[in-house]
Amino acid sequence: MITFYNPHHALHQGQFEMYRGALVPCHEVPARADHVLAELQRRKLGAVLDPQPFDTVALESIHSLRYLQFLEAAWAQWVAIDPANAARDALPSVWPTRSFRTDIEPDNFAARMGLYSFDAGTPLTSGTWVAARAGAECALSAAQHVALGARAAFALSRPPGHHAGADFFGGYCFLNNAALAAQHLRSSGLARVAVLDVDYCLIA
């Protein structure tokens, strides 16, 4: 089985997230993907490849262009507010409710970030866009591999993606890798695609 691995995932490494009223070290960290990669290699489960590039049109099959443009430019806009912001993550602090007008993007960065997010547990960092885009390309590469006839492919990527919406991030996710892969398979001619979300709880 071929694994498509995000070589840029560690560029997204948040310092803190808001959890139950306190800023705590981020739970979603690069070590998670590093551990899986080490196990894949130890068990010799197949080749590990970098993803192939995909243009923005592939991302627009799921996400709004306005949202993608926000993600790409957000870090530069955050640092432009105050150069000291380069040393700290951007976390949303206000959320314009969806009953307000959402067709007009706010001029204020804090309002704009709130418009495109649903929690304060998903920090945006200097490398978030590069890492998230490469992660989406892992999912698309795996889907393309299957669409071309492979029995299976594995996308090993972070930041994760399945909580992201068409125009919002949260739950540690920025681009919805699962939806992108499913849509790519549909666009490649598959009539039906199933998405199985497996979660687990480790009890010590």
Q: What amino acid positions are annotated as catalytic residues?
A: 163
Cβ contact 167:117 at 8 Å? no
> Strands across the sheet with 2-5, in order?
48-49, 2-5, 153-156
What SS3 class is residue 35? helix
**Where in the chain does DSSP place strands (E)?**
2-5, 16-19, 22-25, 48-49, 153-156
Bridge pairing between strands 2-5 and 153-156: parallel
| φ and ψ of 120, to 5 deg | -110, 25
